[in-house]
């Protein structure tokens, strides 16, 4: 009986030593809450988040990211990167234009994945640590248009795998770059 208890304790310790660091630093589960990313993601979609990549590289425009909400860090949000550090983001009646060194005259983003535009008008220049994020469901998303740019310190990671619903199973779901 002592041998069985000893083996259970050893197994538990090994599992904790392997699973806990993996869960804390490499990947974690995330359940989409709400329809701000519709039609790309739906309420209840189950994702595994890659927490490691953004320690080695920065997100690209078009990438879907999971982050801590800056005004309540215990909450996690999922949005799409629209503006990169140092860029100017201009939105005119829902049309998004990016101005940067590569596109001094402006680059109008292809929003073909957006089913319903929001008639916003704003212009913001990002610092060298800020991103502009928006939900794909523009009329139903609380994002950088409402609460401002997202500082890189709040980034958690990107969806690595979508597990549920099974019909949408895939790797790097919702990701594309401009």
Catalytic residue among 2, 6, 36, 118: 36
Say whether 36 is catalytic.
yes
Cα separation of 80 and 52, whole Å? 18
Cα separation of 46 and 32, whole Å? 7
Say whether 79 is catalytic.
yes
Tokens 């292809």 correspond to what residue?
110
Catalytic residue among 63, 79, 141, 144: 79
**Residue 78: Cβ within 10 Å count:** 27
Beta carbons within 8 Å of 92's beta carbon, 6+ residues apart: 121
Give the residue numbers annotated as catalytic, written as ranges: 36, 79
């Amino acid at each position: 009986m002592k041998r069985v208890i000893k083996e259970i304790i050893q197994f538990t310790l090994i599992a904790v030593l392997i699973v806990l660091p993996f869960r804390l630093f490499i990947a974690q589960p995330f359940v989409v809450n709400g329809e701000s990313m519709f039609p790309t993601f739906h309420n209840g979609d189950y994702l595994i988040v890659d927490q490691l990549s953004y320690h080695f590289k920065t997100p690209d425009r078009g990438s879907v990211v999971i982050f801590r909400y800056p005004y309540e860090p215990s909450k996690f949000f999922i949005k799409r990167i629209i503006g990169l550090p140092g860029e100017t983001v201009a939105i005119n009646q829902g049309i998004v234009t990016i101005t940067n060194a590569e596109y001094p005259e402006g680059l109008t983003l292809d929003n073909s994945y957006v089913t319903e535009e929001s008639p916003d008008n704003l212009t913001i220049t990002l610092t060298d640590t800020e991103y502009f994020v928006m939900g794909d469901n523009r009329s139903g998303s609380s994002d950088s248009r409402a609460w401002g740019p997202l500082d890189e310190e709040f980034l958690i990671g990107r969806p690595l795998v979508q597990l549920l619903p099974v019909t949408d199973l895939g790797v790097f779901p919702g990701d594309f770059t401009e």
